[in-house]
Structure 1
Amino acid sequence: MTQPPVAPRRPVVRSHHGDDVVDDYEWLRDIEDPEVLAHLEAENEHTADRTVHLADLRQTIFDEIKARTQETDLSVPVRHGAWWYYTRTVEGQQYGIRARCPIADPADWTPPVLDAGTTIPDEEVLLDSNVEAEGHEFFSLGAFSLSDDDRYLAWSVDVTGDERYTIRVKDLHTGEVLPDEIVGAAAGATWSAGATHLFYSTVDDAWRPHQVWRHRLGDTGDDTLVHEEPDERYFTGVGRTQSEKYLVIGSSSKITSEARLLPADDPEGEFRVVMPRRDGVEYSVEHAVVGDADVLLVLHNDGAADFELVSVPMALALAGELTRAAQGTVVVGADPSLRLEDVDVFARHLFVSYRRAAMTRIGVLAITDEGFGPLREVEFAEELFSCGVGGNAEWDQPLVRIGFGSFVTPSTVYDLDPDTFETVLLKQATVLGDYDPADYVQHRTWATAPDGTQVPVSVVARADTPRDGTAPGLLYGYGAYEISIDPAMSAMRLSLLDRGFVFAVAHVRGGGEMGRAWYDDGKLGHKRNTFTDFVAAARHLVDEGWTAADRLVAEGGSAGGLLMGAVANLAPEAFCGILANVPFVDALTTILDPSLPLTVIEWDEWGNPLADPEVYAYMKSYTPYENIRATAYPSILAVTSLHDTRVHVVEPTKWVARLRETATGSAPVLLKTEMHAGHGGVSGRYASWHERAFELAWIIDTAGAA
């Protein structure tokens, strides 16, 4: 075995609020420095050496993933205009191919059943990402935006992983790629009605989408700036209502939002503010038609912690006369048992997505000439599941596309009749081989946090897995930004479950599973609850006999990587291993520097330690890098990316260096850096399968289950 690389100690002093902190490894931040790159390569070589014994297991797991996957496949076609649009995948190719075929009968809304293995009549290939990716180590498709008449396609690509995209336009009638090209944009692109103009966002030096631009199709001159967001706490972007009638510019911080409207057929007009921003008030808007009147639906939290949906006359909004959501008529009222999250509006029905009892739900309201009917909930039979509305492009479609899945049921697509609630199964993701959902069980259990809070924990395992503490386990967590980790079946996870693993998700505070209060109790001055909830979940799994501490691995990424670093310091004895993906482990250093990408925006989530000594002291008390101590840590694998703009590669690199310097035990601490990737890791499905096979092999070996 090679010895781990030793990063030279080059101390610099960070001074804030009278506190001087010596940081020996901050010099590793400069990824243009050949010495830094050499150190990262040396870490990769060391990790490869320490895991060489897992090569056969990695290949076996990759082969298992591949064998379970329908490699040549088609998505369920989505109707837009006169065409059915879909994505096909082909065995041996890394990326999807986007195509369309004509609608044979405009009166028939049933999507065609397409055979992935045969030629589809009159198919038009719109974009082959495999061709787009040629010659690049990394490829990400951002926008894929069709004009209303289906003639023009605007798409964007990122070939480095830094989330700066190039937008191009194709004339689908001629197949010609137009000379219009926009470099350095954010991912999205939105057409005006009539396809005369294209709207897009650009990012500043901190990778913050801060400007919205208008491009006239065919123009070679400078584009027009239509909105600039000067407040560094806010992102801005542009889209259209589901009816396609209005353009919407949204600006939002972590706690406040503001929307601007413009009729989509007047692209050179002036966007009007719907409701002026007020600190702490979040809202989003959609367009509906009641009778013959245009109304604006406003989903807001003004005096409604878990949000409320109101309707206001469109004329009031366009005139700039809406100052508070209370001026609207309540459509779905505030309810502490429901966390309203989103709305989808169609000509005759309104769909509301919400959470109840830590689970996603779908509610439907009829739209009549008189207004909105009562909310009716779509019911699903399984104990744990996730559901949502998606894949709907037409305003007046009679059936609405919804999705469903669970830890044991593969992703499933239905068409729902919103009047009768009858469903038509369109597609269920194929898991090849002998997969049978009945061989697995999913369960919700509740851990007790130190303050007495009941923390939901979702568990899935084979039905024959023993409950005597002998099973290896993997506990996943995130716990930030009100993001929820919902049930989903994973063909990759079967490589763990079929080896006797128990897989669990700790729905810790800081996430959104239990409503806004659940999020608030895991952010700012309550952030420690996220970490203690996760440790409580780990110990609860042991107490219930699902696994044992010496066979339990913890996993989390990004802000969940901060969670991994924090629990490693807080309760290293509770785990045998920790897998931290792109981990935010040097949070205090990052949040103290407003020149770094996204820092100012993050102050609403973590607090501003630069201005507030109490926030500084609180963050310093839990930030993983600051709190490494002389104790025996579990085995640790940190995975990061050189071009990550959200969590800089320096954070896990410093963390690993200090852990090796300080920890007293003999458990290995490894760092693996993807040299051609960003925050989301490697691109391409086979590359991502190999990457996950590497991680799963390490998990299996660390838990002693190989």
Structure 2
Amino acid sequence: MHERQSFNADWIKFFVDTTLSGDCSCGGEISCQCIRIDSSTVSPDLHRSREEMMNKKVPTTDPVSPLSDDARGKLLPPLPRGEPRIRVLHDEVTTDGFSWLGARGNPDVRAYLEAENNYAERATAHLSALKAEIIAEIERRQPSEGATPAFQVGPFEYFRRHELELPHPAWWRRPVTGGSAELVLDPNVIEGTEVFYALGVFEPSDDGRYVAFSFDLLGDERYELRVRDMADGCDVWVDPGCAERVVWAADNHTLFFTRERTDRRHNDQIVRLDVETKISDVVFQEVNERLAVLVRRSNSGAWLFLDVITTYSYSVQQGAAEVWCLPADEPGGKWRRIVKRELGHEIYAEHWGDRFLFRVDDAGPYWRLVHTPLDDPSPSSWEEVVPHRTGVTLEEIHVLEQHLVILEREGLSPRLVSRNGDGQIGTTIVPDEPSCTITVGLSAGGSHSVTRHSFRSSKLVYSVSSFVTPDTFVEHDLAADLSAGLSQTRVPGFDAAQYVATVVMAEAEDGVEVPISLISRRDRRSPGPVLLNAYGCYGKSRWPSFFTWPSSLTKRLSLLDRGVAFGIVHVRGGAELGRPWHQAAIRDRKYITHTDLIAAAERLVEQGFATCDGIVIEGSSGGGGTVLATAALRPDLFRAVLAEVPLADILDTELDFNMPYALRETAEYGDPRIAHEYRYLRSYDPYYNLSADRPLPPTYVDAALDDGQVLYYQPARYVAKRRFYAADRDPELVFRVRMVGGHSGASHGAGVAEEAAFRIAWTLDQLCNSSD
């Protein structure tokens, strides 16, 4: 349905002029015509019949064809109706039959999604015993609570406590000087949290009088902000909008937070709230839709920073095009701009004593560190502290009163380097892991929480996590250069000695070495099956860790213990090897992300680690789009594909700026309003490269009805079109839609283990059907 057509130009002009609809996905912002077509009026020259497309099969007329058996008694997947719509863009004519799936209120949409869930359940019914076995394994591995150390703010230390009969842990605090614990926040008493709950932020004021917290009850990542007065335990402020980053001023009653606009294009407002008077006002608004804003407080607590950011990721230390500052004890004062966007660099600012620190990319993409007087932050006053070094990325800077700590990464290996006030190197901390996650400071763990330190102490707290090391917290005294273990999360039944983690390098098409972080059981026989995860988007790094995605070892151990190895392919498009790693695979170089994944798979086969018919690839969100596009390039190489909440229709997403993050994604994938970028993107877009003569490996796709990042109908359209093109409706394509929860799945309860167990069981089933 999406092939280029040769139409009579005069006929097209007449048809467009007389039937142009008002629901064009591009919003009329470009030279594009989108037309809803009634099948009774379609010219034979415009719309090939379903009989031709489906090898003379009779077309369906119901909104969704029911589940049925074919003549051989084989279960057929559902098939939604098509409503062809023509689009003309850059002189290319395409039609799309499944845009109607975006009308969530249409009962036919719900019927289709439920039919797909029904098919997935029936088509995988033979895996029910295996799935139940895996669920039991995952539940047995759940770590004990209380492993994360308490963090201190002012006179209190805050910690979580989980009652076994309740779904969510509650927040408590106790005085640092000693005394009984006090309940601060129990999410279990908030209506709706029994279904879904995700914490956004948990931020106490310096004196502990107030606590700001936010939460999401749907999974759409719209966090309601509340402020609780600990004097009586009552909530004195509720902001039902979409709040993200939150910081307190030093006066203990002024709160600054970012508020996202309702159209989800970006976070464009900074709001100031006086909790005592209940007066709020917008103090900063960004009008450039390609930019977003963040607010944060310096490690010293003395300054507030406002960052205007250009990149998709909301990592606190990603760097900004523009930076403003305000003394934390003058929340009603005037913000001062210390970095102008006209400078053309990205800068992350911190405060240390009588100076500002700038991590800046002016000398090269791996960053350097400079300091500058507080009253003159112009480039002419910059003095270098750490020079730019090719291949050594300055990822983060953290400031204690007497110590500057820099998180560096050379290749995949991280290290922490401390310096004194004169810039001289003191302690260097290098984890034993070849590829791991290292986190400095302690966090409340919410989606928008930031890590914090005890500024006036010389003791630095950090954690290390990897494939074989559950989160381990260490306190290092920088003055004495001594380390002390604080805690390690205990995982029942896990014995690290039974597993081996390593890094393998694969040569890409252009000769660049692409790293693969791998884990397997020591007694695994090679060659054997492998599950490879890839992302490669937005300059986001994916490091091995034990609990967080994509490692998720409490779940993946069920794969490893059945002989399947797991790996993260650090394809270009991410930032694992610095910013050049990202820049190498964006816009008209995006194919490199896909060919890197292909090279990694081929290398594992060549080395005798993987079987030639035993590689499954997996990706989530933007990574879901990566694996779908890669599988289309080399369907012979992969046994199966797991695409979780995939960005499967990149082109249409970027043509509709009402879609989440669509405008900023043009910096990653290219702008389809530009002809040559449209054609490049069109050449690999998963949705627009489906065809009847292009078979694909067995594929698992999922979506979430309340997803706030990849809207449910993006993967739904991909599945519907793929079924339409296959004469047998592609029965090896399984599609599941979560009716509860969002982009990251269920928040708690049985659904968490069930979702993982279903994917693991399906993967094992596909590998059992391989020819090797």
Provide the TM-score with structure 2 as the length reference: 0.84
Q: 1:380, CA displacement in angstroms?
A: 2.1
Which whole-Å deviations, capped at 9, do the CAs of 1:520-563 have from their partners, x for residues lacking one?
Answer: 11111111000000011111112222222322211100110111
- Matches for 1:41-60 after TM superposition, within 5 Å: 41-60=114-133
Q: 1:130, CA displacement in angstroms?
A: 2.4
Match of residue 430 from structure 1: 490
Secondary structure at 2:308 match in 1: strand
Secondary structure at 2:768 match in 1: coil
Match of residue 419 from structure 1: 479
Q: 1:133, CA displacement in angstroms?
A: 5.5
Secondary structure at 1:703 match in 2: helix
**8 A Cα contact 1:359 1:486, kept in partner:** no
Alignment CA distance shift 1:135-1:344 (3 Å): closer
- Which runs of no fewer than 5 residues in structure 1 stay unpaired? 106-120
**8 A Cα contact 2:193 2:217, kept in partner:** no
Separation (CA, whole Å) in 2 of partners of 1:34 and 1:45? 16
Separation (CA, whole Å) in 1 of partners of 2:92 and 2:146? 58
Secondary structure at 1:122 match in 2: coil
Match of residue 170 from structure 1: 228
Secondary structure at 1:232 match in 2: coil
Q: 1:136, CA displacement in angstroms?
A: 5.2
Q: 1:663, CA displacement in angstroms?
A: 4.4
Q: 1:340, CA displacement in angstroms?
A: 1.2
Letter in 1 for 2:82: R
Separation (CA, whole Å) in 1 of partners of 2:193 and 2:685? 40
Match of residue 49 from structure 2: none
**8 A Cα contact 1:205 1:597, kept in partner:** no
**8 A Cα contact 1:360 1:388, kept in partner:** no
Which whole-Å deviations, capped at 9, do the CAs of 1:340-395 have from their partners, x for residues lacking one?
Answer: 1111111011111122112332221122xxx3223653122233333231214321
**8 A Cα contact 1:163 1:187, kept in partner:** no
Which whole-Å deviations, capped at 9, do the CAs of 1:125-177 have from their partners, x for residues lacking one?
Answer: 21122223546522211121110101210111111222222211112232222
Q: 1:220, CA displacement in angstroms?
A: 4.3
Is structure 2 residue 675 aligned with structure 1 residue 613? Answer: yes
**8 A Cα contact 2:453 2:460, kept in partner:** no
Match of residue 56 from structure 2: none
| Residue of 92, 97, 100 corresponding to 1:24 | 97
Separation (CA, whole Å) in 2 of partners of 1:94 and 1:62? 17
Secondary structure at 1:184 match in 2: coil
Match of residue 316 from structure 1: 376
Is structure 2 residue 238 aligned with structure 1 residue 181? Answer: yes
Match of residue 384 from structure 1: 435
Which piece of structure 1 moves more, 615-624 or 233-242?
Answer: 233-242
Q: 1:188, CA displacement in angstroms?
A: 2.6
Q: How big is the alpha-carbon RMSD for the aligned residues of Structure 1 and Structure 2?
A: 2.0
Alignment CA distance shift 1:705-1:463 (3 Å): farther
Match of residue 423 from structure 2: 372
Secondary structure at 1:194 match in 2: coil
Match of residue 766 from structure 2: 702
Alignment CA distance shift 1:7-1:643 (3 Å): same
Match of residue 514 from structure 2: 455
| Residue of 174, 185, 190 corresponding to 1:101 | 174
Is structure 2 residue 733 aligned with structure 1 residue 676? Answer: no
Alignment CA distance shift 1:363-1:147 (3 Å): same
Is structure 2 residue 494 aligned with structure 1 residue 443? Answer: no
- Which runs of no fewer than 5 residues in structure 2 stay unpaired? 1-73, 313-319, 443-451, 547-552
**8 A Cα contact 1:631 1:664, kept in partner:** no
**8 A Cα contact 1:643 1:676, kept in partner:** yes
Separation (CA, whole Å) in 2 of partners of 1:70 and 1:441? 21
Alignment CA distance shift 1:421-1:495 (3 Å): farther
**8 A Cα contact 2:248 2:254, kept in partner:** yes
Q: 1:512, CA displacement in angstroms?
A: 0.8
Separation (CA, whole Å) in 2 of partners of 1:36 and 1:664? 23
- Matches for 1:184-333 after TM superposition, within 5 Å: 184-207=241-264, 208-220=266-278, 223-254=280-311, 257-278=321-342, 281-289=345-353, 294-317=354-377, 322=378, 324=379, 327-333=381-387
Q: 1:6, CA displacement in angstroms?
A: 0.5
Is structure 2 residue 390 aligned with structure 1 residue 339? Answer: no
Q: 1:513, CA displacement in angstroms?
A: 1.1
Separation (CA, whole Å) in 2 of partners of 1:197 and 1:380? 40
**8 A Cα contact 1:156 1:188, kept in partner:** no
Separation (CA, whole Å) in 2 of partners of 1:390 and 1:430? 20
Q: 1:206, CA displacement in angstroms?
A: 3.0
Separation (CA, whole Å) in 1 of partners of 2:136 and 2:373? 57
| Residue of 670, 690, 695 corresponding to 1:632 | 695
Separation (CA, whole Å) in 2 of partners of 1:263 and 1:231? 26
Secondary structure at 1:305 match in 2: coil
**8 A Cα contact 2:249 2:255, kept in partner:** yes
Alignment CA distance shift 1:5-1:701 (3 Å): same
Is structure 2 residue 414 aligned with structure 1 residue 360? Answer: yes
Larger Rg: 2
Which whole-Å deviations, capped at 9, do the CAs of 1:41-95 have from their partners, x for residues lacking one?
Answer: 1111111111222222222212111212234444212222222221223334332
**8 A Cα contact 2:407 2:416, kept in partner:** yes
**8 A Cα contact 1:136 1:159, kept in partner:** no
Separation (CA, whole Å) in 1 of partners of 2:93 and 2:510? 33
Which whole-Å deviations, capped at 9, do the CAs of 1:278-316 have from their partners, x for residues lacking one?
Answer: 375211111101xxxx21111111232111111111112
**8 A Cα contact 2:167 2:194, kept in partner:** no
Is structure 2 residue 609 aligned with structure 1 residue 550? Answer: no
**8 A Cα contact 2:502 2:518, kept in partner:** yes
- Matches for 1:121-160 after TM superposition, within 5 Å: 122-132=180-190, 134=192, 137-160=195-218
Secondary structure at 2:93 match in 1: strand
How many residue pairs align between the two structures? 672
Secondary structure at 1:510 match in 2: coil
Letter in 1 for 2:217: V
Match of residue 47 from structure 2: none
Provide the TM-score with structure 1 as the length reference: 0.92
Q: 1:336, CA displacement in angstroms?
A: 0.5
Separation (CA, whole Å) in 2 of partners of 1:669 and 1:474? 18
Separation (CA, whole Å) in 2 of partners of 1:675 and 1:376? 50
**8 A Cα contact 1:75 1:88, kept in partner:** no
Alignment CA distance shift 1:135-1:104 (3 Å): closer
Is structure 2 residue 81 aligned with structure 1 residue 8? Answer: yes
Which whole-Å deviations, capped at 9, do the CAs of 1:480-537 have from their partners, x for residues lacking one?
Answer: 1111111223221211111111111111000111111111111111110000000111
**8 A Cα contact 1:411 1:429, kept in partner:** yes
Q: 1:590, CA displacement in angstroms?
A: 0.8
Alignment CA distance shift 1:72-1:358 (3 Å): closer
Which whole-Å deviations, capped at 9, do the CAs of 1:307-327 have from their partners, x for residues lacking one?
Answer: 11111111124xxxx2x3x63
Separation (CA, whole Å) in 2 of partners of 1:685 and 1:705? 32
Is structure 2 residue 703 aligned with structure 1 residue 649? Answer: no
